[in-house]
Amino acid sequence: MKRETTGVLAMFLACFIWGISAFYYNYISQVPPLEVLSHRTIWTAVFIGAILLARRKLIIIPKEATLRVCFAAIFISINWFFFIYAVQIGKVAQSSLGYYIFPLVAVAFGAIFLGERLSLSQWFAISLAVIAVILLSFGVGEFPYIAISLAITFGLYGLVKKPLTIGPMRSVFWEVGFLLPLALIWLVGTHIFGWQGIVGRDGGFFGSNIKVSIALMFTGILTGVPLILMAFAMERLKLATVGLVQYVNPTLQFLLATLIFMEPVGRVHLIAFSLIWTALGIYSYYSIRQERD
């Protein structure tokens, strides 16, 4: 099998897992989101740490990378939280919108923070995304805060990680490693002191139900496997190809939201999503052209 073909398959599988992961988090929706996030952090560290040790890869992080990894940990934890929260409150369509908007946010951040020059087509694509957000805010009467939070935190996550050269698995291991103390403190609080978090629900599920406990442990594999597949794909594919395949994730989320979870999607939503899809089409077309040139 050709190198590029295996890369596309790996990237597709990673995005497929991300896209249908809403199913999984919906299964454990009785567990408060901060508790799910804490378990996801702990078991991801265990899973990736075990792989790094098995491969005898150095886990030491260079001092110059420490601050960036800390910021990356903050941004990815907020991103994970809002995704879990979106599933639990029935806002998976907003989640998909956030991951559709993300590439355009990333381009805008490149212009703002890195001084990258954007073409008129890229500015036009970004303006369509802004119009879509405004349309949703006024047309539905609710600011799409989950979508915006997901897009911005993932954009900032990519921005701070861009100069890192320590490898994706080591980077993620240290990101969750920095969050481990907070995750452990929160779980102690939920189990011993009855902390409830922002949703006001009782926690402390781990150990009380075998199925839920195993499901919480599996979040580490659910998080780690797509990252490994993505790292494999990135070594074999052009960035434009990776960008196109990544749309599988929000597309699956949108289909789950509308066809399985039966979230209400009206005319305003469809118009807004059409604007986003048009913007992504323009963005992808010119990204491919630039990479070929």
Q: Taking Cα atoms as reference points, which of 144, 150, 140, 106 lies closest to residue 125?
A: 106
Looking at residues 221-236, what average pLDDT do you find?
86
Looking at residues 58-75, what average pLDDT do you find?
87
Average pLDDT taken over every residue of the chain: 87
- What pLDDT score does 158 carry? 86
Residue 58 pLDDT > 70: no
Q: What's the pLDDT band for 262 if we cut at 50, 70, 90?
A: very high
Residue 277 CB burial class (10 angstroms; 0-12, 13-18, ≥19): middle
- What pLDDT score does 240 carry? 65
- What pLDDT score does 257 carry? 93
Do 22 and 253 meet the contact criterion of CB atoms below 8 Å apart?
yes
Q: What's the pLDDT band for 122 if we cut at 50, 70, 90?
A: confident
125-162, pLDDT tens digit by residue? 889 989 998 988 887 677 899 999 999 999 999 889 88
What is the domain partition of the chain in residue ranges?
3-292
33-43, pLDDT tens digit by residue? 999 999 999 99
